[in-house]
């Protein structure tokens, strides 16, 4: 296939300018001293960067009539579901050479039937997915290979705005591309990209295909996993985002140990300080932290003595600058972990201690309701949404590949209807599906979803 004319013209211009720019090239040394270069660092790091390609099979989105067997027979349409194959490309980074562990983004491997990893030396391997966490967009792969090279992890809490960083990946399928920049901002949140956001913002160019690749400092230490860009025009505008490696590593450890992320519950609602709140609480101007607005009765926060109006300034000796940062820190704690919480209350400092609880401790195993729900935990909740508060049956953890998972249930779903019957309790759900399941209606985030029997 011939290249478009504009591409050919660009290539000619680059070839024309090339020899001229070579004349003005920088010398290799000045006064006998070599010029600074990132090359030595990159020679150590790039062997740890991998290309990730996936293949998946998806059902075509036919009109509902086309799923009706009589309709298809009457119009002599071919039977069976139409399926399409899709491919995606991304990047990853080896973080444990002995165990073959690779960090990448969840969205790079989501719904993939097959994941293949290409190493720096050209070897292509089939990877196993150990687990993923859509809420932080982190996934962990394992590859069976010898002679791997891993990158060293930095402490991303020590990053400062202005630090130099380098992004490495495979943008647009171009292998081992390196871009550099600085840390533009820290603790970016509220972007609506992930459930828990605490991004490093950088102006190092990040493009499609860079997702899952490493962001490293000038020592070649991993400080983040590149995950997204802000691209109003569809191209890179110098605003890229990376998941801090401290967060990604905490998620990785849980996935390797448990196969999934086991998040607990704290039981407090918070918001970042506003000028009005600062004045109402008689706090110093410019105060940073997370203001407690509500405490759930009998929750870990309530048992620790937290009260509305408290300003949380530290958790486990880490300073808290905003409500999203506190939410992210709590999300990395497991059930049973202890949280030391430093607060300001009426101008005085206090340290509280809370034990993170299991959010589903009162839930029941799904197979107690029906064998169709085996592998899920179910419980009665008051579901809150912009439409108001409504009782329903919440879905807790769901084991991958279980009957409940195959039925389409996912953690966080809230069931409202079963076989067109409104349900608010486990007993009502049990009664509605006594003769089988043909249709389930639920809320998933801000969407209403209908699951039909197949």
Is the CATH number of domain 364-452 2.30.42.10? yes
DSSP annotation of 294: E
Whose CA is closest to 170, among 203, 207, 210?
210
Cα 199 from Cα 242, distance rounded (Å):
6
The reply to whether domains 156-258 and 268-355 share a CATH topology is no
Whose CA is closest to 324, among 247, 412, 254?
247
pLDDT at 258: 80
Catalytic residue among 88, 184, 189, 211: 211
Catalytic residue among 137, 203, 310, 342: 137
Residue 211 known to be catalytic: yes
140-143, Cβ contacts within 8 angstroms, sequence gap of 24 or more = 140/101, 140/102, 140/103, 140/251, 140/252, 140/255, 140/256, 141/52, 141/92, 141/101, 141/102, 141/104, 141/109, 141/115, 141/117, 142/99, 142/100, 142/101, 142/102, 143/100, 143/102, 143/117
Query: Residues near 81 by Cβ (< 8 Å), separated by ≥ 6?
Result: 59, 60, 62
Three-state DSSP class for 40? helix
pLDDT at 352: 93
The answer to whether 50 touches 118, Cβ cutoff 8 Å, is yes
DSSP annotation of 70: H
Cα 142 from Cα 428, distance rounded (Å):
43
Whether pTM > 0.75 for this model: the answer is: no
Q: Cite the DSSP H helix spans in 158-287.
A: 245-258, 275-280
Q: How far is CA 293 from the centre of its chain?
A: 27
Query: With 0-12 CB in 10 A as exposed, 13-18 as middle and 19+ as buried, what is 102?
Result: buried
Q: Which residues of the chain have pLDDT under 50?
A: 1-24, 60-63, 70-71, 74, 81
The answer to whether 250 touches 153, Cβ cutoff 8 Å, is no
pLDDT at 321: 85
In the chain, where are the structural domains located?
156-258, 268-355, 364-452
Catalytic residue among 53, 88, 91, 107: 107
DSSP annotation of 191: S
Residue 85 known to be catalytic: no
Which of the four CATH numbers 2.40.10.10, 3.40.30.10, 3.40.190.290, 1.10.1740.10 does domain 156-258 have? Answer: 2.40.10.10
The answer to whether 150 touches 48, Cβ cutoff 8 Å, is yes
**What is the number of residues in the chain?**
454
pLDDT at 302: 92
Specify the CATH number of the domain 268-355: 2.30.42.10
Which pair of structure tokens corresponds to residue 175?
A: 């292998």
pLDDT at 425: 92
Query: Within 10 Å of residue 236's Cβ, how many Cβ atoms?
Result: 19
């Amino acid at each position: 296939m011939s290249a478009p004319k504009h591409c050919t013209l660009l290539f000619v211009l680059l070839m024309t300018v090339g020899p001229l720019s070579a004349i003005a090239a920088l010398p290799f040394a000045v006064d006998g001293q070599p010029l600074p270069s990132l090359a030595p660092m990159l020679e150590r790091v790039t062997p740890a960067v991998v290309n990730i390609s996936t293949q998946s099979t998806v059902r075509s989105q036919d009109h509902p009539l086309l799923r009706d067997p009589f309709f298809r027979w009457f119009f002599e349409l071919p039977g069976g579901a139409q399926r399409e194959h899709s491919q995606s490309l991304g990047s990853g980074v080896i973080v444990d050479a002995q165990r073959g562990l690779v960090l990448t983004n969840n969205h790079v491997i989501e719904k993939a039937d097959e994941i293949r990893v290409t190493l720096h030396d050209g070897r292509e391997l089939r990877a196993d997915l150990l687990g993923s966490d859509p809420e932080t967009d982190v996934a962990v792969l394992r590859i069976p290979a010898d002679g791997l090279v891993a990158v060293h992890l930095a402490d991303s809490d020590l990053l400062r705005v202005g630090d130099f960083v380098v992004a490495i990946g495979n943008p647009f399928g171009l292998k081992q591309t390196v871009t550099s920049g600085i840390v533009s901002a820290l603790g970016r949140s509220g972007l609506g990209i992930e459930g828990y956001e605490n991004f490093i913002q950088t102006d190092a160019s990040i493009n499609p295909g860079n997702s899952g690749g490493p962001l490293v400092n000038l020592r070649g230490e991993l400080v983040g996993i590149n995950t997204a860009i802000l691209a109003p025009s569809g191209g890179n505008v110098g605003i890229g985002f990376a998941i801090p490696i401290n967060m990604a590593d905490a998620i990785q450890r849980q996935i390797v140990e448990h196969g999934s992320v086991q998040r607990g519950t704290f039981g407090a609602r918070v918001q970042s300080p506003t000028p009005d709140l600062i004045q109402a609480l008689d706090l110093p101007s410019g105060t940073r932290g997370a203001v407690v607005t509500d405490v759930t009765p009998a929750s870990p926060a309530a048992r620790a003595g937290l009260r509305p109006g408290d300003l949380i300034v530290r958790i486990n000796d880490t300073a808290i600058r905003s409500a999203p940062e506190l939410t992210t820190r709590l999300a990395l704690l497991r059930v049973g972990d202890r949280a030391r919480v430093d607060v300001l209350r009426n101008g005085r400092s206090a340290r509280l201690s809370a034990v993170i609880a299991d959010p589903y401790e009162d839930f029941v195993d799904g197979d107690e309701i029906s064998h169709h729900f085996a592998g899920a935990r179910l419980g009665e909740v008051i579901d809150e949404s912009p439409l108001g508060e409504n009782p329903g049956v919440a879905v807790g953890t769901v084991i991958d590949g279980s009957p409940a998972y195959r039925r389409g249930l996912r953690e966080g779903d809230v069931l409202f209807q079963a076989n067109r019957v409104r349900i608010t309790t486990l007993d009502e759900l049990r009664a509605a599906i006594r003769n089988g399941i043909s249709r389930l209606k639920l809320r998933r985030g801000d969407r209403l979803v209908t699951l039909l029997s197949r």
